[in-house]
């Protein structure tokens, strides 16, 4: 099942926080997100690494960023602690 989140009306760090919160609640699944704030991109990519998620798509079209993320619980690694560093 693929869930979609339209985060285009939100400014950083809200899209980042909503995506991380959503991914923490699911064990397996895919998430497609749309957002406009470019400051969130690097934060999201770093969080995906720390949470052992795969980024299947990372693109931009007319100022809207698209990201397709896959999370699987089959990983033997524990997720690392994620800290907000005020990157926005």
Q: What is the pLDDT of residues 15-35, one digit of tens each?
A: 999 999 999 998 899 999 999
Residue 76 lies in a domain: no
Residue 66 CA: distances (Å) to CA of 2, 57, 78: 14, 7, 27
pLDDT in tens, 31-76: 999 999 988 999 999 999 988 899 999 999 999 999 999 998 764 4
pTM above 0.85, yes or no: no
Residue 16 lies in a domain: yes
Q: Which domain holds residue 16?
A: 2-71
Q: Is residue 80 part of a domain?
A: no
CA 5 to CA 45: how far, in whole Å? Answer: 16
What is the CATH classification number for the domain harbouring 25?
A: 3.30.110.40
82 located within any domain: no
- When divided into structural domains, the chain yields a total of 1
pLDDT at 85 over 80: no
Asked if residue 11 is part of any domain, the answer here is yes
Does residue 51 fall inside a structural domain?
Answer: yes
């Amino acid at each position: 099942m693929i869930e979609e989140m339209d985060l285009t009306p939100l400014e950083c760090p809200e899209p980042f926080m909503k995506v991380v919160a959503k991914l923490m609640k699911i064990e397996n699944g895919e998430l497609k997100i749309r957002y406009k704030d470019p400051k969130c991109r690097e934060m999201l990519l770093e969080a995906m690494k720390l949470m052992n998620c795969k980024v299947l798509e990372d693109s931009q079209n007319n100022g809207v960023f698209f990201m397709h993320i896959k999370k699987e619980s089959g990983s033997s690694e524990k997720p690392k602690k994620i800290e907000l560093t005020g990157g926005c």
